[in-house]
Amino acid sequence: MDFELSDELIAVRELAREFAEKEIAPTAARDDKEQNFRGDLVRKMGELGFYGTMIPEAYGGSGLGFLAMVLITEEVARVHSAMRVAINMQIGPALTVLQFGSEEQRKKFIPGLVSGDTIGCFAITEADAGSDVAGMRTVAKKDGDRYLLNGNKIFISNAPVTNGGLVYAYTDRAQKHRGMTAFYADWGQPGLARKSMETLGAHCSPLGELTFDNFPIPVANRLGNEGDGFKICMWQLNQTRLNCAAGALGVARAAKEAAVSYCNQRAQFGQKIGEFQMNQDMIAQMIAHEEAARLLVYRAAWLADQQKPNNLETSIGKYCAAEAANYAADAAMKILGAYGYSTEFPVERYYRDAKSYQIVEGSSNVQKMIIAQDALGYRKANR
């Protein structure tokens, strides 16, 4: 077992940290308050190769791997969690096209996602299909050399700004999950209405609805065969879950750093508040939870880099990292008190952003379901 990162990975992490601190952090509070979508930063991250670590050079990537993505994502999320979502919106469709697309589809769609010229997304969730992906109602009907989509997707990250990405729909609803199909869509076509949605956190990550009214997608943009969609979606979620897990590590770390720093500055009752054992208890727990989650998330990424099954390990890592981020944000809020609650300081942002990690990409309860049902022998997680 080797716990050392290679020199290459250390350099990648340094690059991401420097970019995050110099380019993202200075305006993070303002961007959050004004709900700015930072397309300029999305493109700069593309130029730096942040979306291409799991993509071969032939399609514009570097092939550095999943652990490299995790390290980059953690650094970005540490300064602004909403900017982490932007990474996932690029890598989700790029990896899925790499895995399931034809050579022509790979060449056509991946380089734009890797460079950030295409603002990506993946449209799965619907009003009655959140945890229960198979409950979706959007349909795709074949019409000559294209499919026409009808339905509505909600809570879709990047919906207001995306110009290309994945969408899942039923080509044969009677077959339940075996009738679902995956497509790569160019959102510039007619028959699409977008609507923005407001949320508690992740304000710089534009969220919204996509409504399809005979929205056309060429047959040439179908990934795999009709009916492959559910398995493609489960595969995709396993990759994008890892990015969320890394994001949660970043938030956990940011909250801990704020709490430690405040404990060393703030004095009450004639001593630094770090001297109080109740605060030490929270600092210790923040660190223990964060460090444990980090090892789990790195293990899942390492398995992915070895091309070994990692669904179970990714679910465990995502669950623990989301809970660590929420513990840390909650504890930091208690330690900073009114300064934590104040919108003048970043802890309230960490608190709002941390919540998303218990919801997105499979809620904490979905992760627990996957973990427990694997242990009980009901459904294998790694298949």
CB of 379 to ligand GRA, least distance (A): 5
- Which of the residues 63 through 92 are near ligand GRA (CB under 6 A)? 85, 88
For residues 162 and 238, which CB has a smaller minimum distance to ligand GRA in the complex?
238
* Interface with ligand GRA (CB under 6 A), residue from 93, 262, 360, 374: 360
* Interface with ligand GRA (CB under 6 A), residue from 5, 29, 48, 134: 134
Closest CA to 54 of 42, 64, 44: 64
* Interface with ligand GRA (CB under 6 A), residue from 119, 237, 255, 263: 237
Burial grade of 270 (CB within 10 A; 0-12, 13-18, 19 or more): exposed
Contacts (Cβ under 8 Å, ≥6 apart) of 126: 135, 136, 137, 138, 151, 152, 153, 154
Task: Pick the stretch among 13-21, 31-39, 229-237, 270-278 that binds ligand GRA (CB under 6 A).
Answer: 229-237
Task: Pick the stretch among 3-11, 25-33, 227-235, 265-273 that binds ligand GRA (CB under 6 A).
Answer: 227-235
Q: Using the rule CB under 6 A, is 311 a contact of ligand GRA?
A: yes
Interior CA angle at 23 toward 20 and 24, to 5°? 60
For the chain, how are helix, strand and coil distributed in percent, rounded to 5? 60, 15, 25
| Polymer length of the chain | 383
Catalytic annotation, pick one of 74, 209, 323, 361:
361
What's the Cα-to-Cα distance from 374 to each of 23, 128, 198, 379, rounded to whole Å? 42, 26, 36, 5
Is 361 among the catalytic positions?
Answer: yes
CA 67 to centroid of chain Cα atoms: 15
Interior CA angle at 301 toward 295 and 304, to 5°? 145
CB of 104 to ligand GRA, least distance (A): 25
Task: Pick the stretch among 66-74, 98-106, 325-333, 354-362 that binds ligand GRA (CB under 6 A).
Answer: 354-362
301's tokens: 């990424």
- The helix/strand/coil state of 192 is strand
Q: Using the rule CB under 6 A, is 30 a contact of ligand GRA?
A: no
CA distance 102 to 225: 11
Q: Using the rule CB under 6 A, is 306 a contact of ligand GRA?
A: no
CA 353 to centroid of chain Cα atoms: 12
* Interface with ligand GRA (CB under 6 A), residue from 231, 266, 272, 299: 231
For residues 340 and 362, which CB has a smaller minimum distance to ligand GRA in the complex?
362
- Which of the residues 114 through 133 are near ligand GRA (CB under 6 A)? 124-125, 131, 133
CB of 237 to ligand GRA, least distance (A): 5
- Which of the residues 242 through 271 are near ligand GRA (CB under 6 A)? 244
- The helix/strand/coil state of 357 is coil
CB of 252 to ligand GRA, least distance (A): 16
Task: Pick the stretch among 7-15, 70-78, 159-167, 358-366 that binds ligand GRA (CB under 6 A).
Answer: 358-366
Contacts (Cβ under 8 Å, ≥6 apart) of 343: 33
How many residues bind ligand GRA (CB under 6 A)? The answer is 25
CA distance 192 to 210: 7
List, by residue number, the catalytic residues.
361
Q: Which residues in this chain contact ligand GRA in the complex, by CB under 6 A?
A: 85, 88, 124-125, 131, 133-134, 157, 177, 230-231, 234-235, 237-238, 240, 244, 311, 360-362, 366, 370, 379, 383
